[in-house]
Amino acid sequence: MEEIRLNGKIKLSMFRNHHSIIRAFINAFRGVKYALRERSFFIQLIIGFLVTVFAFVLKLSFAETAVIIILSVLVLLAEILNTVIEKTLDAVSKEQNPEIAKIKDLAAAGVLIFSVAAFLIGLWIFGRAIFFK
């Protein structure tokens, strides 16, 4: 294991300090708990779960099922990043600010665009499985 020196002081590498790894997982699970409180995240989670179940029920190919699962997870990630941007901007300024509103709208637009793309890809995959098999 290597030592990392920062300002002349020795810092233990991440792999030698298992408490920091445990702390990182605790923090990550706390973040998941916060995300589950967000209505849009929870809705997307339910949709992702249902389309994944549907993929197995229809016996989609491994690649098609993987695409469905990956897209579902990426939509959830987009929702989390949008929430991070919104919460950060809310912490920076409580006042109405047109520039902050634009940034929030752009972040929401990113989630919308990705969600629509995921929906269309899912529609294509499920449509082929339902109507052309």
DSSP-assigned letters across all residues of 24-85: HHHHHHHHHHHHHTSHHHHHHHHHHHHHHHHHHHTT--HHHHHHHHHHHHHHHHHHHHHHHH
Q: How far apart are CA 14 and CA 17, in angstroms?
A: 5
User: What is the CATH classification number for the domain harbouring 51?
Assistant: 1.10.287.3610
Is the same domain home to 125 and 63?
Answer: yes
Mean pLDDT of 109-116: 97
The per-residue pLDDT for range 73-103, each reduced to its tens digit, is 999 999 999 999 999 999 999 899 999 999 9
Query: DSSP label at 95?
Result: S
- Give the pLDDT confidence score for residue 1 in this predicted structure: 47
Mean pLDDT in the chain? 90
Same domain? For 49 and 21 the reply is: no
Partners of residue 6 on adjacent β-strands = 9
Q: Using pLDDT thresholds of 50, 70 and 90, give the confidence band for residue 13.
A: low
Q: Are residues 57 and 113 in the same domain?
A: yes
Domains of the chain: total: 2
For residues 59 and 33, state if they share a domain.
no
pLDDT at 109: 98
- State percent of the chain over pLDDT 90: 80
Residue 90 confidence (pLDDT): 94
pLDDT of residue 19 exceeding 90: no
Return the number of other C-beta atoms located less than 10 Å from residue 54's C-beta. 16
pLDDT in tens, 23-36: 899 999 999 999 99
| Domain that residue 5 falls in | 1-37
